[in-house]
Structure 1
Amino acid sequence: MRSLCFHHKPGLSRLFGVCVLAVLMASTSGCSDTEVPPPDPAEARPGGDATTSIIPFPALDKVTPNLPDDERPQFYAGRALAHQPWVKAPTITDARDGLGPIYNARGCLACHIRGGKSRMPDDSETPLFGPLVRMSVVLDDAAAMTAAANSHAGVIPDPVYGDQLQTQSIALLHQLRQASPVAIAEQQQVAPEAYAYVKWHEQAFVYPDGRQITLRKPELDLRYVAYGAFDTNTRFSLRNAPPIHGMGLLELIPQADLEALADPDDADGDGISGRQNRVWDARSQRWQAGRFGHKANRSNMDMIVASAFANDIGISNPLFPFQPCTEQQPLCQKQRNGNNSQGLELPDNLLRLVTNFTRNLGVPTRRNVDNADVRKGRPFFYTSGCAACHQPGYTTAASSAQPHLGNQRIWPYTDLLLHDMGPELADGRPDFAASGSEWRTAPLWGTGLMGQVNGSKQYLHDGRASSIEEAILWHGGEALAARQRFTHLSAAERRYLIQFVESL
C-alpha cells in the first residue's frame, strides 16, 4: 500500500492545494485515514464575479455579469454573428455569405445549442449534425509522425478529405435531400464528403457489490462516401462538440500553474503523468502550450473560434485563410466564395467580435451546495482520486484586455492537461504532441446542467456516456485507479459522489 497526496506543488502560488492521505489496499483499492479540505464558500460561485444565474432557465451562453456596460454592445454583436446562419456566395448580404462549399453547420451555435454540448443520435439511422468526425493519416514511420506533430497542422491530413469530414454542402440536391452525396457528385454538383452515422454497441459492467450497469460504445458508420477511398492509413475520431462557457476564464489560468501540475515522466510515482500539448498559434506565429479542444490542440480562444469558422462552416479568416476543399476536390475549389478585398470571408474585426463573445460567457452558479447528500459526496471526490486530474480551483491572471476576468477565484475542476485514458477511450489518432490515447481533462463546472440546457446529457469526447456514472466507468489508463476506488465504494457512497459532481 502507498499514500496518495493531492498537494500544493512548489511554485503553484495561485492553485488551490489539497492533500488527501489515501491508504490504498491492494485487494480493494479502498481508502481510509483521509484528510479532505473544508468547503470554501467561494465554491458556490465557480466563475467568481463571472458567475451567472440559472434563473429563469439554465443556459451556457449567458453574458458574464461583470462585463462592463460599454463592452456589452460588442458582446451582443458577437452573439448575433455566432447565431446567424451563413449563406452561399454570392449574395447581396456580403457580410454573411461564403458558406462552405462543404461544411458541417451554418453557424457557430447550431452545434453548441444554448452554449451546451451537441446531440449525439441514439439510433443508427439519424445522421450526425453537431457531432463531427476528425481524421488523419497515422503511419508506423516515427520520423513522419514526428514531422506531422511539428507541422502547423499537427497531423497528416487524408489526401482527399483533409482532417475533418464535411457532411453538408451548398448543392441544391443536398439542401432538398433529394439525392445522396454519391449521386450529387455524379450530377457534377459539390457533394458532401459523406454522411456519418453511429452504431451503438452495449456491454455490461458489474460492480464488486454485484450491481450491473449497461455501457455503450459508438462505432462510426460512414455512408455515401463521395470522393473516392480514404487513405488506407487514415484513422477516424468521433467528436461530440463540448460546451463553451467559461472559456475566457480558462484562458487566463496562469501558465505557471499548469506547468507545475504537469508530471510527464510521473516523477512522483502516483501513476498520473499529465502533460501539455505543444501546438501552433497562428495569431502569435509561435508554438504555445495547448489548453483547448478534446486533445488540447488549440492554445487560445482566437485559434478555437477561427478554426471552427474554417473547418465547421467553411468561412475563411485571417488565421485560417482557406476553404475546407482539398486539391482532390477541384469542383469544390472552383465555387464562388464570399471573399473581401483582403481575400477573406470573415475579416479580423468580425472574428474578434465572435471570439470576445465566446470569451465572455459566464459560468453557471452551483446548485444544491448545502444538500446533505452533495456534502457527503464531496470527500469521496477527493479520496477516490478524481481531484488528481480534475483540479478544483485557480486564481486567474490579471488581464489588460479582459480586466473583469482577471484575478478571479474560479473552480473549473480541470488541469487542462493531456492524460492517457487507456485503450477503451483511445481513438488511435495523434494530434500535435498528443498521442492516440491521450485526452485533455474536461472541466466539470456546469456538468449537472447539460441535459437541462439543450437535452444533450452525453459525456466524454464521443458522447458515449449518458450519465456521470457511465463516464467514470469508462475511465482507464492513468484514471484506472480512481475508477477502481469509485467502484469499491458502497452504492450510497457512489451516489453521493455523483450528486456532488452534478452540483458543480
Structure 2
Amino acid sequence: MRRLCFHLKPGLSRLFGIFMLAVWVIASSGCSEQIPGPEAAETRPGGAATTSIIPFPELDKVTPNLPEQERPLFYAGRALAHQPWVKAPTITDARDGLGPIYNARGCLACHIRGGKSRMPDNADTPLFGPLIRMSVVLDDAAAMTAAANSHDGVIPDPVYGDQLQTQSIALMHQLRQATPTAMAEQQQVPPEAYAYITWHEQAFIYPDGSSVSLRKPELDLRYAAYGDFDTNTRFSVRNAPAIHGMGLLELIAQSDLEALADPEDADGNGISGRQNRVWDARSQRWLPGRFGHKANRPNMDMIVASAFANDIGISNPLFPSQPCTAYQPLCEQQRNGNDSQGMELPDNLLRLVTNFTRNLGVPQRRNVDNAEVLEGRTLFYATGCVTCHQPSYTTVASTTQPHLGNQRIWPYTDLLLHDMGPALADGRPDFAASGSEWRTPPLWGVGLMARVNGSQQYLHDGRARSIEEAILWHGGEAAMARQKFADLGAEERHNLLQFVESL
C-alpha cells in the first residue's frame, strides 16, 4: 500500500495559517508528496454519469449517459423499486408475496428518494427504514471461523435469524391493535419484535475549549414474539445508506482496491485496510466484498437480491427462502406468491431492479470555487482523511454497462474494511469483517442528504447528526486523523467541513 502523505501547494490557500498547519502535519509524518491541485473533473464526480441538482437534488435519478434505447428498462426497474408489495395471493401476481414478515413494503420505502432512511428522534417511535442485524457470537474460535466460511457469513440467531423483521402481514399488526406477542396468541403471524432507540448524549471537548454534543443509540426490543433471543446474540442497528453511484463503484478495478489494501500495516502508518471475503450466489464463488456497511456483498446482484429477501420478504433466485425460521410455524404456514419456478421475484424482474440501481447517477459538486471549500480541501488532504477516503478512480471498461466504464469518478472511498475502534464497534463479525471493522463509506453526495429527504444522519447506525459528529466518532485506525481535525482552529474545522459538504 502506498503511503498517502502530502506537501501543500501554497496557491491552494489564501491563509498563511492554513499553510503553516499543513506544513506541521507534513513535517510530523515525514512525507515528500504533494497535495494535488483541484481539477475541473472534480465538479463532475460521476464523470458522464453526473446528474444535475436542479430544480432540487434527488439520488434516484437516471445517469444522463444511459443510452436512450435502454431507458425503458431503467424506468421499468424504477417502478418495481417504488411499488409497494402486497400479501399473497392476489390477482396482482407480479407484486404479491410480501412477507409474511418484513421491514418495508418496497425498496425506496427505506432508501427515500435514493437517500438514507430516517432514524427516530425519540424512544417512543418504532424503527421503520433502519433495521437490526443480529447473529450469535461465540468465544469458540473454530465456530466463528466456520461461520465466516459459510455462505451466510454469520451464525444466525436460532429463532430469529440474522435480521429482525419488525413488520408482518397480520391485520392486527397493520391496524396496530395488538402487540406481536398478543398476535401470536391469536394465531396471526406476528412481527418478530418492535424496535425502539433511546439516545444517550455525551460531550466532546475540543482543545480550544469549544464542545459538541455526540449521541449514541441504545436498542430497545419489545414484545419478542417467539421468546428470548439466544444469550450470545449480538445486535447491530443499521441505517439504510444512499444508493446512488453504485454501478460506478462496481466498476472500480479490483487491482486498484488491492493496491490500497495493507492488512498487516506494512508501511507502518497505522492504517490497515483490507477486503472482506464473501459469497456470491450468482457465480457460486467467493469474491472480495465491496458493498454494505461491513462490505459483506460483492456486487449489485447480491445487494438487491438480499434486500428483497430480508427486507421485503420476497424470494428470488439468489435468496430463495422466506425470512421465517423453523421456530416460527405461523410464518412458515402463510401463503406465498411463488410462480411456477418457485420464486416470488423471477430473475428477469430481479435484473430490472438491479439494472435500475446500477444506473443511478451521482449529483454534481457545489461551491467548488468557494475560498473556504478550497481551503477545506487542502485540510482534508493534510489531516490524512484521504488515506481511507480515496478521492478518485477511473472505472474499467464494461461490456454490459459500457456507458459507466472508463469514467473518472470521485467517490472518496477505498471500499475497504477499517477498524474504527471500540466506540463504533457492534461486536458482530460478518464473514471476515470483525466486530469493530466497517467499510469506508463513499462521500459523494454526502452534503445533500438533508435536502434529499431530511435524513442528515451518518455512520452505520445514524448516530451522527452532522458530518462533524461523524468525524468525532472516528477511532481505531482513524483516531490520528480525528485528532488532527480536533486540533484545528474553529475556522479551519469549518472550512474542512465546508469541503465535505460540497462533495
**SS of aligned partner of 2:311:** helix
Structure 1 pair 426/76, CA: closer, same or farther in 2 (3 Å)? same
Match of 1:119 in 2: 118
For residues 26 and 315 of structure 2, what CA distance do their matches in structure 1 show? 56
Match of 1:16 in 2: none
Indicate whether 1:50 and 2:49 are aligned. yes
Verify the 8 A CA contact 1:30 1:489 in the aligned structure 2: no
Match of 1:246 in 2: 245
Match of 2:492 in 1: 493
Verify the 8 A CA contact 1:208 1:487 in the aligned structure 2: yes
Structure 1 pair 417/25, CA: closer, same or farther in 2 (3 Å)? closer
For residues 174 and 121 of structure 2, what CA distance do their matches in structure 1 show? 24
For residues 25 and 356 of structure 1, what CA distance do their matches in structure 2 show? 44
Match of 1:267 in 2: 266
Verify the 8 A CA contact 1:290 1:296 in the aligned structure 2: yes
2:456 counterpart letter in structure 1:
K
For residues 358 and 242 of structure 2, what CA distance do their matches in structure 1 show? 13
Instruction: Encode CA deviations 1:449-498: one digit per residue, 9 max, x unaligned.
Output: 00000000000000000000000000000000000000001100000000
Indicate whether 1:372 and 2:371 are aligned. yes
Matches within 5 A, 1:60-209: 60-209=59-208
Distance apart, 1:54 and its partner CA: 0.3
1:277 counterpart letter in structure 2:
N
Verify the 8 A CA contact 1:4 1:270 in the aligned structure 2: yes
Match of 1:341 in 2: 340
For residues 148 and 485 of structure 1, what CA distance do their matches in structure 2 show? 38
Distance apart, 1:21 and its partner CA: 8.5
Verify the 8 A CA contact 2:5 2:29 in the aligned structure 1: no
1:459 counterpart letter in structure 2:
Y
For residues 361 and 350 of structure 2, what CA distance do their matches in structure 1 show? 20
Distance apart, 1:296 and its partner CA: 0.1
Distance apart, 1:23 and its partner CA: 5.1
Indicate whether 1:218 and 2:221 are aligned. no
For residues 370 and 33 of structure 2, what CA distance do their matches in structure 1 show? 22
> Unmatched 5+ residue regions in structure 1?
8-19
Distance apart, 1:331 and its partner CA: 1.1
Verify the 8 A CA contact 1:52 1:362 in the aligned structure 2: yes
For residues 321 and 226 of structure 2, what CA distance do their matches in structure 1 show? 19
1:52 counterpart letter in structure 2:
T
1:224 counterpart letter in structure 2:
Y
Match of 2:433 in 1: 434
**SS of aligned partner of 1:135:** strand
For residues 160 and 55 of structure 2, what CA distance do their matches in structure 1 show? 44
Instruction: Encode CA deviations 1:214-242: one digit per residue, 9 max, x unaligned.
Output: 10000111011111100000000000000
Indicate whether 1:473 and 2:451 are aligned. no
**SS of aligned partner of 2:397:** coil
For residues 258 and 283 of structure 1, what CA distance do their matches in structure 2 show? 22
Structure 1 pair 117/293, CA: closer, same or farther in 2 (3 Å)? same
> Unmatched 5+ residue regions in structure 2?
7-20
For residues 152 and 475 of structure 2, what CA distance do their matches in structure 1 show? 28
Instruction: Encode CA deviations 1:304-323: one digit per residue, 9 max, x unaligned.
Output: 00000000000000000010
Matches within 5 A, 1:316-395: 316-395=315-394
Instruction: Encode CA deviations 1:103-126: one digit per residue, 9 max, x unaligned.
Output: 000000000000000000111100
**SS of aligned partner of 2:338:** coil
1:197 counterpart letter in structure 2:
Y
2:38 counterpart letter in structure 1:
P
For residues 50 and 369 of structure 1, what CA distance do their matches in structure 2 show? 18
1:86 counterpart letter in structure 2:
W
**SS of aligned partner of 2:418:** strand
For residues 276 and 153 of structure 1, what CA distance do their matches in structure 2 show? 17
Distance apart, 1:5 and its partner CA: 3.2
**SS of aligned partner of 1:87:** coil
Matches within 5 A, 1:282-321: 282-321=281-320
Verify the 8 A CA contact 1:137 1:235 in the aligned structure 2: yes
Distance apart, 1:6 and its partner CA: 4.0
Verify the 8 A CA contact 1:130 1:241 in the aligned structure 2: yes
Structure 1 pair 24/371, CA: closer, same or farther in 2 (3 Å)? closer
Instruction: Encode CA deviations 1:219-268: one digit per residue, 9 max, x unaligned.
Output: 11101111110000000000000000000000000000000000000000
**SS of aligned partner of 1:280:** strand
Structure 1 pair 22/89, CA: closer, same or farther in 2 (3 Å)? farther
C-alpha RMSD of matched pairs (Å): 1.7
Indicate whether 1:401 and 2:400 are aligned. yes
Verify the 8 A CA contact 1:21 1:35 in the aligned structure 2: no
Match of 1:417 in 2: 416
Structure 1 pair 111/31, CA: closer, same or farther in 2 (3 Å)? farther
Point out 4+ residue stretches in structure 1 off by more than 6 angstroms.
Answer: 29-34
For residues 93 and 3 of structure 2, what CA distance do their matches in structure 1 show? 59
Distance apart, 1:36 and its partner CA: 1.5
Verify the 8 A CA contact 2:26 2:382 in the aligned structure 1: no
Verify the 8 A CA contact 2:117 2:240 in the aligned structure 1: yes
For residues 32 and 391 of structure 1, what CA distance do their matches in structure 2 show? 17
Structure 1 pair 359/25, CA: closer, same or farther in 2 (3 Å)? closer
Verify the 8 A CA contact 1:4 1:22 in the aligned structure 2: no
Q: Give the structure-2-normalised TM-score.
A: 0.95
**SS of aligned partner of 2:214:** strand
Distance apart, 1:63 and its partner CA: 0.1
**SS of aligned partner of 1:55:** coil
For residues 31 and 475 of structure 1, what CA distance do their matches in structure 2 show? 23
Aligned-residue sequence identity (percent) comes to: 81
**SS of aligned partner of 2:348:** helix
Between the two proteins, the alignment pairs up a number of residues equal to 488
Verify the 8 A CA contact 1:89 1:337 in the aligned structure 2: yes
